[in-house]
Amino acid sequence: MIPTVHITEVIKRYGRNTAVSGVCFALNAGEMVALIGHNGAGKTTLMKLMLGLLRPTDGSIEVLGENPAAGQFSARRHLGYLPENVSFDTALTARETQAFYARLKGEPVAKALELLDVVGLGAAAARRVGTYSKGMRQRLGLAQALIGRPRILLLDEPTTGLDPELRQTFYDVVQRLAAEGTTVLLSSHALTELEERAGRVIIMNRGFKVADGSIDKLRNLAQLPTKIRLKVSGLAPGELPHWLPSFAPCRRLNGHVVEIDAAPEQKIELLRHATAAGTALEDVDVIPPNLDELYAQFLRQAERMP
């Protein structure tokens, strides 16, 4: 793994308010990392620190081997950033806007204009941005962030305002870049869509990092039960299968389905019992805790800490 970003014991205070508290992590080339947390958890502040738009109160940050807060931060030209609230000059067309940012970054204008097609704005490229919908402005923001094939892409709530089709296109574009070696860090509140896309999740709470890892790792750490749904034939109304082990209290859902909350270490034994039941068992669904549930669990754990 090739680290592109190193954040070590970073603290950022705004007056008496601590936005980021002793955060450490490294990001690697080719990783797509989701940064999640409640409003005010410190996500945007972390991105602005990586961009050199803010200086840390304490701790150190290294981006592509450089300190972003130093005067000469030449690595900046390898960074793409989509801010939380994109705003453009409404009098310019998308084409003019994109050309402006390409020149600003010292990148070829023609290549930057091709990105308008990538984000589905080709047909509207000659229209003034003032006539754009929110989703179209968001697409333009993404096109701007992609200029110059960034080695690190920082996307602050990028899918807000995008329709389902464009969300899919957006993730396709970003995943392709990650596969080619770009580090992608994206903050979002849309946990369901991140679950199957982000290889790693960092959870922030009140400025502290409270969890960091793949979804599988977070599931192991959280030790939340897995829901096991069994479709069982021949049950009378309200009846529960007699062959389930006593450690697995179950409840009846609709029709012939019973649901069990299985602790991680009980899962396999429970499935063994269920499959031994022979013809009574018609179907099995195993539903591990989702990212919403994991997030809520890590926040509960963090709140219990002194």
Q: Which of 189, 83, 207, 59 is nearest to 142 (CA)?
A: 83
Residue number, 40 or 245, with CB nearest to ligand ATP:
40
Instruction: Name the nearest CA neighbour of 291 among 206, 177, 193, 175.
Output: 193
Half-sphere exposure of 106 (CA within 13 A, CB side): 5
Centre a 10 Å sphere on the Cβ of residue 286 and count the other Cβ atoms it contains: 12
Least distance (Å) between residue 238 CB and ligand ATP: 45
Stretch that binds ligand ATP, among 35-43, 85-93, 259-267, 294-302 (CB under 6 A): 35-43
Kindly indicate which of the ranges 41-49, 141-149, 193-201, 217-225 contains the residues binding ligand ATP, using the contact rule CB under 6 A.
41-49
Task: Number of residues interacting with ligand ATP: please give it, by CB under 6 A.
Answer: 12
Residue 254, Cβ density class (10 Å: 0-12 exposed, 13-18 middle, ≥19 buried): exposed
Of 112, 113, 104, which Cα lies nearest the Cα of 76? 104
Quick one: tokens of 87? 């705003």
Using the minimum distance from each CB to ligand ATP, give the nearer residue, 232 or 294: 294
According to the binding rule CB under 6 A, does residue 56 interact with ligand ATP? no
Residue 224 · residue 293 · CB < 8 Å: yes
Q: Which of 42, 80, 158, 289 binds ligand ATP (CB under 6 A)?
A: 42
Q: In this complex, which beta carbon is closest to ligand ATP, that of residue 46 or of residue 248?
A: 46
Single out the segment in contact with ligand ATP by CB under 6 A; choices: 14-22, 127-135, 195-203, 274-282. 14-22
37 lies in the site for ligand ATP, by CB under 6 A: yes
- Residue from 17, 74, 87, 246 in contact with ligand ATP (CB under 6 A): 17
Closest contact distance (angstroms) between CB of 50 and ligand ATP is: 12
CA–CA distance from 247 to each of 38, 233, 258, 260, 267 (Å)?
Answer: 36, 22, 15, 10, 11
Binding site for ligand ATP (CB under 6 A): 14, 17, 19, 37, 39-45, 84
